[in-house]
Structure formats: C-alpha cells, structure tokens
Copies of this chain bind each other. A is one copy, B any other.
C-alpha cells in the first residue's frame, strides 16, 4: 500500500506554518477579499478535517465526510487542498505547533513546582478543549508516525532536550528529587493526554457517556499531585526531599 509513503515528502517544508498552508493556486501575498475568503474556507475545512480524522483515522476518513462536515461540496475540498494527504499534513502542522509551545512554563528560573503544575494543567486543559487535535496526533503516532518523523526527531527532540537540561539543573541544585527527566515527560504526556485520547474508556469506567468539567478538574488535580509528589515537590512551591 504505502508505496513511497509519506515520509518521503517530509522534506518539502511548505510555507512554514500559519497562513494558507496548502493549495497551489497561491494568490498574490495575503491581503484582499479573495485571500480572506480563502483563509476562511481553509479554516473551515481544517476544522472539519480535525474532527473527521480524529474519529476515523487517516484512511478511515473520507473527503466526502470532511466536505459534508464543512458544508461544502467535495470538489471544493480538493480545490483548497489538492490531495487528502496534503490536507492531513496541513492539519498535523497546525497541531504540532500547539504541542511545541505547551511547555513554555518550564524555564530556567521558574519555580519547579509551579512550572510543572502549570504544564500539567495546560496539558489537561488542552485535552479538554482540543480533544480532536489530540486524537489526530495520537492516531498518527500509534500508527508509526511516518508523517511526522522529521518533527519528532528534530523539533520536538530539541525542545524536549532543552527542558530536560533545565530539569537536570533543578535536580543538581537540590530543588527537586532525582527523577529521569525524559520519563518524567513521557508520564506527563501520557497521564494528561489520556483524558482526550482514551476519553471513552475513562467515561465508561466512570459510568457516564462522556467526561464532565468536574472530571477534568479531578483529573488535573490528580495528575498534578502525582507528578509533584514523584518529584518530591509540594503544591505550594516549596521544595521537599
């Protein structure tokens, strides 16, 4: 099936990030009523795609379903994003940008407890507010991440390595217990994202249809406490043993 899959086109970094991330008609620069309409339509399609890809995965999602969800004829979707894969990759790029900036609270001179607490809470909030984005990312990674290999190995690794250095310094300075910083991140990601990616399982076990705002509050409290304790930190911001 895969033929020359995906990874191949990893190189072609399309126009970096934001704006009109896909098509080829590429109008002048970015202003004007036409460009505005284009951006609006792209946004609509991307929002629809986020939901459909999250629910059905890449192959399970159909352009027809995405078009329907965006209230557009199927051909329009192909007009703005020439192929299904191009649309998928645009969507992934948007999602990865969100991912990268979530750990901003972890800085050299921050208080460890406050920084980790803020990070955990931001991640839980993300699971609550952008469950579809989280699921698209999860789906991609579970299936081997061929479309985001470059991102994982370079941008994400670099970002995480930076945060790991900070945590190592905190440990060296005795501001928190010695824990493996990489695995600490793996645990934070897993424990927080599970409320988006595995929501239906958590909800079923709790005997409800879907998680409530109260559940997310409890989730944030629980994960925060777990992470802080595992680092020998107290919620207030003081360092323990």
Chain A residues packing against B (C-beta within 8 Å)? 1-2, 5-7, 54-60, 62, 65, 68-69, 135, 138-139, 141-145, 149, 152-153, 156-157, 160, 179-180, 182-187, 189-191, 193-195, 197-198, 200-202, 204-207, 218-219, 222-223, 225-227, 229-230
Contacts and interface: CB of A to CB of B under 8 A. Distances in A.
Contact of A60 (B141, B143, B186, B225): B143
B179 A222 contact: yes
Contact of A200 (B58, B68, B152, B201): B152
A34 B5 CA distance: 34
Nearest to A188: B191
Contacts of A206: 182
A182 B207 CA distance: 11
Nearest to A59: B60
Contacts of A142: 54, 135, 138-139, 142, 197-198
Contact of A205 (B2, B156, B180): B156
A234 to B, nearest CB: 13
Q: Interface majority SS on A: helix, strand, loop or mixed?
A: helix
A145 B200 contact: yes
Nearest to A206: B182
A218 B183 contact: yes
Contact of A186 (B68, B156, B182, B219): B219
A63 to B, nearest CB: 12
A6 B60 contact: yes
7 closest A-B pairs by beta carbon, nearest first, are: A152-B204, A59-B60, A190-B194, A183-B222, A226-B230, A190-B190, A57-B57
A197 B230 contact: no
Contact of A222 (B55, B62, B180, B219): B180
Given A141-B197, A145-B200, A187 B56 contact: no
11 contacts: A1-B56, A1-B65, A5-B65, A54-B142, A135-B142, A139-B139, A141-B198, A152-B205, A156-B204, A179-B222, A229-B230
A157 B205 contact: yes
